[in-house]
Every structure is written in structure tokens, then in C-alpha cells.
Amino acid sequence: MTDPRFDVAIVGYGPTGATLALLLGMQGLRVAVVEREPDLLPLPRAVHFDGEVMRLFETAGLADALASRIRPSGGMRYVNTAGQVMLERPPAVGAGAHGWANNYLFHQPDLEYALREAAERHAGVQVLRAHEVKALEQDPGGVRLAVARLADGAALTLRAGYVVGCCGARSIVRQAIGSDHDDLGLHQPWLVVDVVLERDVALPEQTVQYCDPARPATFVKVTGRRRRWEIMLMPGDVAEDMTRPESVWRLLAPWLRPGDARIERGALYTFHSLVATRWRDRRLLIAGDAAHQTPPFLGQGMCAGVRDAANLAWKLARVARGHAPDALLDTYQSERAAHARVFIETAVRLGNIIQTTDPAVAAARDRRFLESGKEEIANLSPPLGPGFHAGTAPAGEVFPQPRLADGRRLDAAIGGYRFALLAEPALLDPALGARCAASGIATVPADGEAAARLAQTGARALLLRPDRYVYGGARDGAALRALLEPLFTRAEVLQ
């Protein structure tokens, strides 16, 4: 293969890279994915995603494939050493704002298998496993990637219009961009232990954050017989000894004994809170952990990467086809960095609660929470930063997924990863519908629950982007025409 041409090359094939490959493939782009590992890693890593991310998987056609492999969360509790609940996220019972449960637990290999299988159904998606990107060189027309096959070092050159680094915290693409980090202040080593139960053991149904100053810990009931503990390293711990089986069983003694379970993995992680200062340099971009790292106390690390992919894929497709100016890609960081930072800052706040190790400070913390009453941990839904939207709320906010009068979810009526106009039926005259169709915009009459949700925004019509964030709203026919006319006159941006 000599200097093949792709619209986009993705470095890294974890959940962020696989989601991006799938969304680009759905739009007919030619995509190369370069992945170091020869096959799917069989070990658990991320274990949580939220209802908005499940909705994005629905848009990508994965809902049926995932339904039997995930489970709604039983909730989360922050408890002190007396067993008193200080903070709580309720169980994910029923459908939330996005038409799915608010929170899910899963086994990462199951999710990655479904994502990769769906991505590779698209003829334009080619995956190079057991290959590594060694160098990147930009020119006005694209990027040249020097790639090595890991089995024998054989060299390969790829050429792509754009390169997206989904290659983790040590991203070669971020290094090529030359980005520093904004440090939000949390850097703490923890031991992460995943087990598979061999017999029934009485363990909590919900995730529990044990706010014990002597040894903070987290328990997660994952799926099936999988369980996870995250255990904070303390002064005096010898890092290299912590993953030894005898050390792991000693730390798990309050919950399990040897024979109760099989240890699947014990690994040391340092939980970071970082946001890259530059997510783009001309034709190079970064996403997922390459762009931001969040502590796990909200379970939002992987979610942020999937949101990156959903925000970026439609913009890349339009720019790569010449249907939108290259400057559209500048809205990716401006929108996503502000959004991701809210989750990271909240996770840092929660981390400071559980990671308190001074007994006096912990006692004051406990009194403060118990005096003010149990605090509820709500699913966050911050607006995007400035970018490709009208700027005034509800523009820049994610729109919920209600059901229509015929029982369908809103996104089923939209029919895929594309722009959509949700409007009161009286505003959807045939001429407007024809112009929307010519511009690639789905039109959905607001009825049933959707009518009530629309009315709550104060608008009579909303233009939704492919990632289901609001581009802008209108209160009457004249305002709707004014909203849409700039897009109709450059309708190629939506195609």
C-alpha cells in the first residue's frame, strides 16, 4: 500500500476512536484507523456511561446490540465511616430525559466489540491493527502518517485530509500539536481491582464511595458477576507491592475472601484532572483522553470522549467534503472544552470529598453534610461553549428525547445522525418542508410529549444538530425563516 488517501485518519481504536470511526463511516467518509493492539483488549476499564451517551449509541444504531450487555445503574452513595449517606445519586429507574435510563454500567470489551463491529460494516472504514504511528507531517493539502507494523517493523505511509488522535493520555497527536495542559489540581494514585464472583456474596446493589479517611475506597457492581473496587493508595504503601495477590486480598478483606471471587485485574492508576490547551493545529485534532482527563468519581471519562466524537464527526464530514469552511473545526474545542471542564471540576469536587484523609477534616465534612441534609448527585447537562449555534438559550443546550404521539422516540423520527427541525405542525408548511429536505434537514412535527418539551423552551421551533444540541430556536414563522435562511443559502454546510 503506497500513500493511500483517506478523508480522516484516527489514531487509537478505543471507545472514542471507534465511535468516531462509526459516525464518519455512517456519513460515507474514507477512514483509516491505526491501533497498536492486535486485538480487542479483554480486560475491564471504563464501567459507566450516562443516558445521553446511550442516546448517541442509539443514533449510531447500537441500541439493540447493547441492550443485553448493559444494565441500568443501581445508584451511587457517598457514605462516611458510620455508614451515613452524605451524597446520593438515585437508581436509574425508568427512562430519563434522553429516553433511556440516566446511568448504565457495562463491561468495556462488550461495548468496544459492538462499536468496532458496527464501524467495520462500512466499506470506507479500514483498520490497521498492530500498527503504530511514528511521525506526522502536515502540508496544505493533508497529513502524511509514517506507520510501522509492530510485528516486523515494516514501514507504511498513509495520507489523510485530517488526523484525530484518540490515543490516550500519551497521545502522539497531542505532542505533534504541541499542546500543554490546564491542571485542575487532582493527581492521586489508586489501585483498581476487578473480580468475577465465584459464589454469591452479599454486596451493595449501588455504587458506594467509602469516605473513610483511613483508606478511601469505591465499590461498583458492574454487570453479571463482575465487581470492581478502587482503593486509594496511602502514605507508606509500596506501589509495586499493591498489585500482588496477597496485597489485593488483604485490601478486599472487608468484602471478600479468597475463593469468593477470581481476580481478573489489579492495576495502579493515577487519577488526573487535565484539559489540553490546544485541541487542534490545522489538520491535527485530539479527542478523548488525549484532550482531557477526568477523575472517575462521576464515571464521565469515557462519556466525554464519546461526546467529543459526536460533536466532531459531522463537522469533519462537512469540511472534508468541501461543504463547510475549515473554520467550522475551530468550534470543536470552543464548544467541547467548556462542556468537559464542568464535568471535570465536579469530579474534582467529589474526589476531594472521598479523598479526605485527615480524621479531623473528615469529621468536619461529615457534620457539614449531615447538618445540611443529604445532597443529591444529579446528571449534569451543561451548555456548550461558543461555537456553531445561535448563542442564546436554548441554543447550545442538548435537547431531551421525548416520545411523539405515535410512540416513537424523537431520534427514531429524525432517522440518524443529521440535522432536524422540530416544530409545531402549523409552522411546517410544504414549501418549508421542501427546502429542508433539499438541505438535508429532517422535519419532525412536535406532538405528544415532544410538543410539551418544545413549549418548555419558549420556542415554537428548534433546529437540532446531529449531536442533538440545539442550533437555535424560533417563536414564529418569520423568526424561523430568519433562522433557517442563512443555512439554506449555504445549504451545503448541512449536507
Q: pLDDT tens across 344-371, in order?
A: 999 999 999 999 999 999 999 999 999 9
Q: Please, are residues 143 and 136 in contact by the beta-carbon 8 Å criterion? A: yes
CA atoms within 13 A on the CB side of 35: 21
Mind listing the pLDDT tens digit for each residue in 299-348?
999 999 999 999 999 999 999 998 899 999 999 999 999 999 999 999 99
pLDDT recorded at residue 1:
42
pLDDT of residue 490: 57
End-to-end alpha-carbon separation of the chain, Å?
31
Does residue 327 share a domain with residue 423? Answer: no
Q: Which of 203, 218, 381, 210 is nearest to 296 (CA)?
A: 218
CA–CA separation, 26 and 24 (whole Å): 5
Residues 162 and 294 in one domain: yes
Tell me the CATH number at 35.
3.50.50.60
**At which of 295, 325, 340 does a domain end?**
340
Q: Is residue 386 situated within a structural domain?
A: no
Is the pLDDT reported for residue 492 higher than 70? no
Nearby residues of 257 by Cβ (< 8 Å), 6 or more positions away = 249
Q: Is residue 423 part of a domain?
A: yes
Find cell 464501524 and name the residue. 119
Q: How many helices (H) and strands (E) does the chain have?
A: 13, 24
Residue 190 host element (H or E): strand 181-197
Q: Per mean pLDDT, which range of 3-12, 109-118, 209-218 is the poorest?
A: 3-12
Secondary structure class of 66 (helix, strand, coil):
helix
Q: Is 108 helix (H, G, I), strand (E, B) or coil?
A: helix
Q: Is residue 398 part of a domain?
A: no
Burial state string for 165-203 with b = 16 or more CB within 10 A and e = fewer than 16: bbbbeebbbbebbebebeebebeeebbbbbbeeeeeeee
Mean pLDDT of the chain: 95
Q: Residue 416 burial (CB < 10 Å; 0-12/13-18/19+)? A: middle
Q: Give the Å distances, CA to CA, from 194 to 189, 199, 219, 241, 300.
A: 16, 15, 10, 17, 19
β-pair type (284-286, 226-232): unpaired
Domain assignment of residue 67, yes or no: yes
In a domain, 235, yes or no: no
State residue 489's pLDDT score. Answer: 61
Same domain, 305 and 417: no
Q: Within a domain: residue 94?
A: no
Q: Which residues contact 359 (CB under 8 A, 6 or more apart)?
A: 213
User: pLDDT band at residue 486, thresholds of 50, 70 and 90?
Assistant: confident
Same domain assignment for residues 108 and 30: yes
Among 284, 307, 340, identify where a domain stops.
340
**Is 307 inside any structural domain?**
yes
Look at the chain and report how many structural domains it folds into: 2
Length of the chain: 495
Domain assignment present for residue 23? The answer is yes
Q: Please determine, for residue 72, whether its predicted confidence score (pLDDT) is greater than 90.
A: yes
Domain membership of residue 420 as a residue range: 410-494
74-88, 137-151, 239-253, 473-487: segment of lowest average pLDDT: 473-487
Q: Quick one: how far is CA 179 from the chain centroid?
A: 21
Can you give the pLDDT at residue 485?
Answer: 85
**CA distances for 153 relative to 133, 171, 296, angstroms:** 11, 20, 36
In angstroms, rounded to a whole number, what is the distance separating the alpha carbons of residues 327 and 349? Answer: 35
61 and 168 assigned to the same domain: yes
Same domain (yes/no): 145, 55:
yes
Do 312 and 441 fall within a single domain? no
Global confidence as pTM = 0.96
Residue that terminates a domain, selected from 340, 357, 379: 340
Q: Which of 322, 346, 472, 344 is nearest to 397 (CA)?
A: 472
Q: In the structure, what pLDDT confidence band is assigned to residue 4 with cuts at 50, 70 and 90?
A: low
